[in-house]
């Protein structure tokens, strides 16, 4: 059976015809020498959006996290983040390899930790301990089901971190989903973080890259790391143009993805055998559980009917994005209903 509706991830979005046209016509130059006008344009758009002095274009979001940690840390330092955070599970242990830092996880809820969690995790400065150096926040929280960190929580946590002399980092892979869902401007989030980035290759629909922003001094050091890791490119304007197009055309429409996720979640909440926390669905991610440990069986049956979801951390995850329309959501819900009916007769 062909995949008719792909809810596996928002990373699966394909550049539209218009985006491809825009990319094909992009002005390019040697990006490594800072001479690619399209990359430079994308970086100034992102710096402006995030309220930062400068930004650097990177091939991936993973590299944005890892370069930030490498700039902020010395080997042996420690970074605090939620137990569900992306670098803990999906970055191949890169934090240990690149920054030489260790991660101390805290037990937040839906990927969002509290001031108390943070206070308990920050180490005393004495020679037995690793030095706590960075507090890292994931907006939106992926394994937390796309939950948005409330601004008040960010204020609380980063105020304490700064009082303790720690650096603050936002993994904003889906930051613009949070911006659209909360109505809080990206630059408002930006003011609380020494380093902050967002992905162009997820819900925004561009094929490649992320943009990392911070002070001029931070970005200067980030450029060294980009070069060191082989992330500096040449005529990268071709791919950066996808990002420029996405920022100009695909941000406001993220609201549609959130609406689609909500409809899907509401449909799922009515089905016997499936469990979902509706309050958890704030953006474009829908996490649900299948009773009796039948998660894999459910996902496989659904795939046979043409709907692909992913299975992670004991949940099934459906992610809405710009290649999924209302009809696709209706189709997916029909197939999910059929599957639940077959398994839980
Ligand atoms: C929260 C989060 N951080 C970082 C990343 C890494 O981004 P990329 O796939 O662009 O390297 C992802 C990707 O799924 C993510 O969900």
Q: Residues 69-92: what's their mean pLDDT?
A: 98
Mean predicted lDDT score pLDDT of the chain: 97
Task: Return the sign of the alpha-carbon dihedral for residues 340, 341, 343, 345.
Answer: positive
For residue 62, give the ligand 1 atom closest to its CA.
11
pLDDT digits (tens, 9 = 90+) for 17-34: 999 999 999 999 999 999
| Protein residue with its CA nearest to atom 15 in ligand 1 | 173
Q: How far apart are CA 201 and CA 14, in angstroms?
A: 9
CA separation, residue 16 to residues 115, 145, 205, 207, 275 (Å):
42, 27, 8, 10, 35
Specify the ligand 1 atom closest to the Cα of 199.
Answer: 10
3-state secondary structure of 145: coil
Q: Going by C-beta distance under 8 Å and a sequence separation of 6 or more, which residues neighbour residue 141?
A: 82, 84, 85, 110, 111, 112, 147, 149
For the segment 145-163, the average pLDDT, to the nearest whole number, is 98
Half-sphere exposure of 131 (CA within 13 A, CB side): 13
Res 258: pLDDT:
98
What is the whole-number distance in angstroms between the Cα of residue 61 and the centre of ligand 1? 5
Token output for 158 = 């980063």
Ramachandran area for residue 220 (φ above 0: left; ψ -120 to 50: alpha; else beta):
alpha
Extents of the domains making up the chain = 17-249, 253-343
**If DSSP codes are grouped into helix, strand and coil, which group holds residue 37?**
helix
CA–CA separation, 314 vs 103, rounded Å?
Answer: 23
Q: Are 158 and 114 in contact (CB under 8 A)?
A: no
Q: Report pLDDT for 97.
A: 98
Q: What percent of the chain is modeled with pLDDT above 90? A: 97
Packed helices 254-269 and 175-182: angle between N→C axes, nearest 10 degrees: 80
Q: Which of 123, 124, 180, 192 is nearest to 152 (CA)?
A: 192
Contacts of 100 (CB under 8 A, 6+ apart): 73, 74, 75, 76, 77
Q: Tell me the per-residue pLDDT of 38-80, one tens digit each, with 9 for 90 and over.
A: 999 999 999 999 999 999 999 999 999 999 999 999 999 999 9
- Is this model's pTM higher than 0.85 or not? yes
pLDDT above 90 for 189: yes
Q: How far is the CA of 8 from the centre of ligand 1 (A)?
A: 14
Q: Is the CB of 137 under 6 A from ligand 1?
A: no
pLDDT at 313: 83
In angstroms, what is the span from residue 263 Cα to ligand 1's centroid?
25
Sheet strands (E) in 186-227:
195-199, 210-214
pLDDT value for 345: 78
pLDDT tens readout for residues 251-287: 999 999 999 999 999 999 999 999 999 999 999 999 9
Give distance in angstroms: CA of 318 to centre of ligand 1: 16
Average pLDDT in the 140-167 region?
Answer: 98
| pLDDT at residue 196, as a whole number | 99
pLDDT category at 202 given cuts 50, 70, 90 is very high
Q: What is the distance in A from the centroid of ligand 1 to the CA of 285? A: 14
CA of 65 to the centre of ligand 1 (A): 9
| pLDDT tens profile 229-249 | 999 999 999 999 999 999 999
Q: What is the pLDDT of residues 294-323, one digit of tens each?
A: 999 999 999 999 999 999 888 999 999 999
**17-249 CATH fold:** 3.40.640
CATH number 3.90.1150.10 given to 253-343: yes
Q: Is residue 94 in contact with ligand 1, taking CB distance under 6 Å?
A: no
Q: What atom in ligand 1 is closest to the CA of residue 201?
A: 10
Burial of 248 (0-12, 13-18, 19+ CB in 10 A): exposed
pLDDT, position 197? 98
Please give the pLDDT value at position 110.
Answer: 96
Tell me the residue ranges of DSSP E strands in the chain.
Answer: 5-6, 54-58, 78-82, 102-106, 132-138, 167-172, 195-199, 210-214, 274-275, 285-290, 307-308, 310-312, 315-319
Residue nearest to atom 9 of ligand 1 (CA): 61
Does the CB atom of residue 138 touch ligand 1 within 6 A?
A: yes
Tell me how far the alpha carbon of residue 343 lies from the centroid of ligand 1, in angstroms.
33
pLDDT of residue 1 exceeding 90: no
DSSP letters, 300-340, are HHHHHTTEE-EEETTEEEEE--TT--HHHHHHHHHHHHHHH
User: Which protein residue's CA is at the shortest distance from atom 8 of ligand 1?
Assistant: 61
| Contact of 78 with 104, CB cutoff 8 Å | yes
Percent residues over pLDDT 70 in the chain = 100
Is 280's C-beta closer than 6 angstroms to any atom of ligand 1? no
Q: Report CA torsion sign: 212, 213, 216, 217.
A: negative
């Amino acid at each position: 059976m062909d995949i008719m509706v792909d809810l596996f991830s928002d990373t699966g979005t394909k550049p539209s015809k218009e985006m491809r046209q825009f990319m094909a016509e992009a002005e390019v130059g040697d990006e490594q020498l800072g001479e690619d006008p399209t990359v430079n344009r994308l970086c100034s758009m992102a710096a402006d959006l995030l309220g930062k002095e400068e930004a650097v274009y990177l091939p991936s979001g993973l590299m944005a996290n890892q370069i930030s940690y490498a700039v902020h840390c010395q080997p042996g330092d420690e970074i605090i983040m939620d137990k569900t955070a992306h670098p803990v599970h999906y970055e191949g242990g890169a934090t240990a390899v690149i920054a030489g830092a260790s991660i101390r996880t805290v037990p937040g809820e839906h990927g969002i930790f509290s001031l108390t969690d943070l206070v308990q995790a920050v180490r005393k400065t004495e020679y037995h301990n690793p030095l706590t150096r960075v507090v890292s926040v994931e907006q939106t929280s992926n394994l937390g089901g796309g939950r948005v960190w409330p601004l008040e929580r960010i204020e609380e946590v980063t105020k304490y971190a700064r009082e303790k002399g720690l650096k603050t980092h936002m993994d904003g892979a889906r930051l613009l989903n949070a911006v659209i869902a909360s109505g809080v401007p990206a630059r408002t989030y930006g003011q609380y973080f020494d380093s902050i980035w967002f992905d162009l290759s997820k819900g925004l629909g561009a094929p490649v890259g992320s943009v990392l922003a911070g002070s001029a001094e931070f970005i200067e050091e980030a450029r060294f790391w980009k070069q060191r890791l082989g992330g500096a490119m040449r005529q990268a304007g071709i791919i950066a143009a996808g990002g420029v197009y996405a920022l100009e055309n695909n941000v406001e429409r993220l609201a549609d993805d959130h609406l689609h996720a909500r409809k899907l979640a509401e449909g799922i909440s009515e089905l016997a055998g499936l469990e979902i926390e509706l309050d958890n669905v704030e953006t474009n991610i829908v996490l649900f559980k299948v009773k009796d440990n039948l998660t894999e069986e459910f996902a496989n049956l659904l795939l046979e009917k043409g709907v692909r979801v992913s299975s992670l951390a004991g949940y099934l995850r459906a992610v809405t994005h710009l290649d999924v329309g209302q009809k696709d959501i209706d189709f997916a819900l029909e197939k999910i209903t059929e599957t639940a009916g077959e398994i839980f007769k």
